[in-house]
Structure 1
Amino acid sequence: DMRRGTDIKAIYSIYQIYQILKKEKFDMVQYTTPNAALYSSIASYFIKVPIRLYCQWGIRYVGFENKKRVLFKLFEKITCKYSTHIRAASKKNLEFAISEKLYSNTKGKLIGEGGTIGVDLSLFNIAKKNTYNKDIRKKFKITNEFVFGFIGRLSIDKGAIELLEAFKEISKQIITAKLFIIGNLEINTCINKDLIEWAKNNKNIIFIEQIKREELVKYYSIFDCFVHPTYREGFGMVLQEAGAMGCPIITTDIPGAGEVMINGESCLLIKSKDTEELKRGMKEIIFNHNKRINLSREAFKRTKEKFCRKKMLKNQLADYIDLLNKE
């Protein structure tokens, strides 16, 4: 049992993992996500698992400040210390981690172009985009309205405030614009309650809770623009999925998110935590038809070339074999 955030039950979680590892005697343990990685690195270190592989698909403390940042940086250092090998999600995340002295350049490595397992192009099949688009528009009674899409936790560090504030201004000028928000509102969120209430009562904002990937692919097809104004990111699976379905993309110029696509070619990059710049980007996508078409085409092309699942799994397998052979 593992929960988000800090939790006194973490000690019991570590103990449970320790018992499993002690019984099974694994040659390698791989872990990711902040809490799971922290607990597993500690447990596998004391069991002396030969290969303790930390997939650092994001660095949690980046979005924090003051004492909270110090505490969560300490947790990250512990995870890195107790791991024998680390695989960063992107080049800039790797460089940042080394500059922060989380680990040495001999312990950390980037596989391929970055990312994790890539996109299953048989599921995210752009040939079905028009059919899916018609089905979803019919379901929600949407005709020719321009549709923005957001997928993920609606939380501060995913850029929820900037997203809602930017759309609030845009919807005053383009009253038919729609915004799909797919994902859960984070519990105990610090987002302004008035802003949340405005969004929930706005008929042009459609909230959908988490859905299966088989259904999610259909929603990417309706997005005229995929918006991802995150503060921190490992690499951004949703950006790869959006690219696979030929969505014009707006995301932030930060390690991870800003490396999936190329600014001005296959996406628009904006400053993190900047509502005005996000609003300008969203307007540019709406009013510049040629730009929108070009971004869509290049996002698909880059995803197919760089982030196809078969290619990325092949790279990952080669890394596993190399690690095991060294032991």
Structure 2
Amino acid sequence: MKNFQIIKALSSSSAVASITKDTSVMFIAGGTNLVDLMKKNVVAPDKLIDINALDLKKIEFLNGKVSIGALAKNSQVAEDQSIKEKLPLLALALAAGASQQIRHMATVGGNMLQRTRCPYFYNTDMPCNKRVPKSGCGAIGGTNRMAAVFGTSDSCIAVHPSDMCVALAALDATVLVEGPKGKRQINFTDFHRLPGNTPEKDNTLEIRELITSIEIPDNNFTKNVHYLKVRDRSSYAFALVSVAVALELKNNVISNAKLAMGGVAHKPWRLTETEDFLKGKTASEDIFKQAGKLGMKGARGYGDNDFKLTLGANAITEALTIAASK
């Protein structure tokens, strides 16, 4: 890790202004991912802007929505009683992520911005288009057990590792950001990018923009929800496949459904076609099996990760079954 300077920001505007003046600067809050990347020399900023003093830690229940500050800790959100009651899917997803120690340090904004855990990205001796554009993708034709099956390109087959983001995608969240051009809002499903020809771009943030909060609209998904995370071990492991499910049921008929997957794409993967299929259907084993197959339509394996095609369908079916049974 090379030497760097650290500067403490006291306001969002001063933090943004610091980045504006010097583009070799990065924001740091919990640092649970950024510090790892710096140790591996994957990133090497000259300066870090410490944003922990900013007033962006609040969880507020406003008229028609919930607002969560970008500096709220993952554990703070997961353990908030009102979040558990009104947004249980989000609480479940956060509790499934990382270890308890990391959740006490990691922030909501940092969780959204974490980089892929692809081994080729972390190993600076190996080719990786995300780390060094045009250098090649070692995972294609290499070790790719954790790799994506949706939305891939010839440049990259890495996956986004967040659990929290899968739930936020399912819950129609909005990202609020601030930059030198002012404030703007981004639909959560538009925030992360697919790799295409520019896999080094993880999201649609402009270089000098700062995430200030996320907002989640009020909903009726307070009972029939489930977050299923399939992983190699039950302690601190990233998802092979995960599924976030939120259902509205009346007399066992599905009036509304929200589904998203993790561990399968460069971004949280929303299953809108499957949602439409489920609406108006009576909850049953057969319907959920059909939904599982439909959810994996268009998926493509790369050898080591071919098992995800079957695992994904089964995980969707299981998550729906558990959610409907509550």
Query: TM-score per shorter chain, which class?
Result: under 0.3
TM-score of the pair, normalised by structure 2: 0.27
Higher helix share: 1
Larger Rg computed on CA atoms: 1
The structure that is strand-richer by fraction is: 2
Normalising by structure 1, what TM-score? 0.26
